Structures are given as structure tokens and as C-alpha cells.
Amino acid sequence: MRALWKGTISFGLVNIPVSLLPATRREELKFHLLRRSDLSPINYKRVAEADGKEVPWDQIVKGYEYEKGKFVVLKEEDFARVDIEATQTIDIFNFVRIDEVDPLLFYKPYYLEVGKGGDKAYVLLRDSLVETGKIAIAKVVIRSRQHLAAVKPQKNGLILELMRFPAELLDMAEFKAPAAKSLRKPETVTAKRLIESMSSKWDPTQYTDEYHEALEKLIDKKVESGGKFAPAPAKKKGPTNVVDLASVLQESIRQKTGKTKSEKAAKKSRPRSRKKAA
């Protein structure tokens, strides 16, 4: 896989050569906008709001709206004045405990692949982070943009996870909080029982993008049928309001435990191979 970025991790006087590789992928189905009558693709045009005329690229500038309808134009030299020097360095400036950092700040991980001659220092940083339970907070410039980032140990290696700056997060106080109602003890106990009955070890293989898979199957069927396909039956809407929380919790547990018992019974009822008598 081709590296997106090559540079070094720097902390103190230690420099570790690394390459940045994608750690995630997003498989999205791409759709085109078409004219219904003949399925001709629709293209977008750059049209001026004032007169509706199409504008060529060489006549387009970037502007910031500082008041309603008033703009200040920024040229390439203006952006160059505030450009951050791309040092090709993941510059660590402190180490913190991961549980002290708001999880909402993390948003995009990359694998950090060690470069030639950096193995010992790479392992030293990885193991030190594991043993101290800390992560490194750094700044890095990727494609001319400065990012806040964290260097974290991940299995046998390290990852770089891009972060939002704290000022980018909205304050939770801006959102409506649930009404302060006292819960009855039976409701709390039953809720804990339900959580326990639904608890299991983490198995990433059981989580798949069902919508993506179903959409691919539907597209295949429409292609095979020449575009003619029977519409899916309307789904029944579930209850939108919980009237009796305790009874709903109890019914949830009953269904969950009943399903578990039926699964065990089905296993027991399976015929076993008998040994032939000598």
C-alpha cells in the first residue's frame, strides 16, 4: 500500500522515521443523477447568482462573507501568508492519559509504519505508552493543513489518530437534557439484568454493514430483471412511546432468556452419532 505521508515522530531528542498508511476504508455505492426520460447523466454548472451566467474557472475567486452580502476576497498569496510550514514531523509536545481525553475529539486513524533504522525507537515508544497507559498528543501538517493528533499503541504497532481541536466541539449544555425523574429500584435492577443477559465478548466479525449488502443485492436483481422489480412491502412501525418501563424491561428479558433456552434445547435435541457395538 502506498504511503500517504512520510516523516518522523519527534519527542525530546528522539526521532523515529515513519510512514502514514490508511487504517480505514469506506465502501460507498456511487450514484449518478440522470434525466428520467432517457437516463442521460446530469452535469453541474458554475452559475453566477446575479445574472445566471456560467462562470469559467479563471474568473472564480475565494471570498469570505463577513456580513450578509458583503465579501472580502482572499488570493493565493493571502493563504501563503498564514501557511504552516510542512516539517514532515509528528511533533509530540506532551503525554496524557487516554481516559482524560474526550472521545469525541478523535475522528480518523492511520497506521504508522516504521521506517528504516527506526525499529528500536519505535518499539521503545510503543511499549512505553502501553506501560504508562498514556498517549502522545502531537501536531502534524498533512497536505498543507495542520492537525491535532494522538499517537497511540495498537497491537504490535502505533497509530496516528487525527483529532478535532477542543474549540470545535459543541457544548452539551446547548442540547435538551432529559427531565430529572427518579427511577424506581425495580426498574434499575431489571435494566441491569437485561444488560447482563445481552452482554458478550467483543467479536468484530458479527458487525457488518447490512444496508450496504442489501443495497448491492437489490441493484443486482434490478440489473438482472432489466430494471423491473417488485416494491418491498411496507414495514410496520414499532411502538414509539414506552408506557410501562418495568414491564417492557421484563418482557425484553423474557424474550432474551427464552431465545437462549430454545437455542440450548435445539443443540441438545440434535442426534448424536452412536458408536457401533463391538
Q: What is the CA angle 156-157-161, rounded to 5? A: 140
Q: What is the DSSP string of 217-255?
A: HHHHHHHHTTT--PPPPPPPPPP-S-S-HHHHHHHHHHH
The C-alpha cell 458554475 sits at 46
Q: What is the rounded distance in angstroms from the CA atom of residue 233 to the CA atom of residue 216?
A: 19
pLDDT band at 278 (very low <50, low <70, confident <90, very high): very low
> Which pLDDT belongs to residue 143?
79
Cell of 221: 436483481
Q: What is the rounded distance in angstroms from the CA atom of residue 113 to the CA atom of residue 130?
A: 18
> Which pLDDT belongs to residue 176?
85
Q: Which of 64, 80, 87, 68 is nearest to 5 (CA)?
A: 87
Burial class (CB in 10 A: 0-12, 13-18, 19+), 16: buried
pLDDT band at 273 (very low <50, low <70, confident <90, very high): very low
**229 DSSP assignment:** -
pLDDT band at 198 (very low <50, low <70, confident <90, very high): confident
Cell of 195: 444488560
Structural element, H or E, at residue 89: strand 89-97
Residues 84, 86, 88, 90: what is their CA dihedral angle, to the nearest 10 degrees? 10
Asked whether the beta carbons of 142 and 98 are under 8 A apart, the reply is no
Lowest mean pLDDT among 132-141, 170-179, 235-244: 235-244
Between 135 and 211, where is the model more confident? 135
Q: Is residue 195 predicted with pLDDT exceeding 90?
A: no
Stretch 250-265: mean pLDDT: 70
Q: In whole angstroms, what separates CA 261 from the centre of its chain?
A: 36
Stretch 64-70: mean pLDDT: 91
**100 DSSP assignment:** G
Between 268 and 57, where is the model more confident? 57
> Which pLDDT belongs to residue 187?
83
Topology annotation, domain 5-26+83-168: Ku70; Chain: A; Domain 2 (2.40.290)
Q: Is residue 55 predicted with pLDDT exceeding 90?
A: yes
- What digits encode the pLDDT tens for the residues 177-186? 888 678 788 8
Asked whether the beta carbons of 21 and 4 are under 8 A apart, the reply is yes
What backbone torsions phi and psi does residue 204 show, to the nearest 5 degrees? -65, -20
Mean residue pLDDT of the chain comes to 84
Q: Which of 138, 255, 124 is nearest to 193 (CA)?
A: 255
> Which pLDDT belongs to residue 133?
94
Q: Is residue 274 predicted with pLDDT exceeding 50?
A: no
What backbone torsions phi and psi does residue 262 show, to the nearest 5 degrees? -65, -35
pLDDT band at 277 (very low <50, low <70, confident <90, very high): very low
Highest mean pLDDT among 44-58, 191-205, 251-265: 44-58
